[in-house]
Amino acid sequence: MKRLVFVPVLAALAAFSSGAAAQDIKVTLTEWKLRLSADTVKAGSITFEVTNRGTVAHAFQVVGAGVDKETRQIGAREVATLTVTLQPGTYEVFCPLAEGSHKTAGMSKTLVVTGGANPPAK
What are the 10-residue block averages of pLDDT along the chain, 122 residues in total? 46 43 92 97 97 98 97 98 97 95 96 75 52
Closest CA to 29 of 122, 96, 92: 96
| Residue 89: other Cβ atoms inside 10 A | 15
Q: What is the predicted pLDDT for the residue at 9?
A: 44
Residue 22 is predicted with a pLDDT of 74
Backbone angles phi, psi at 90, to 5 degrees: -115, 135
Q: Is the pTM of this model over 0.75?
A: yes
Burial of 15 per CB tally in 10 Å (0-12, 13-18, 19+): exposed
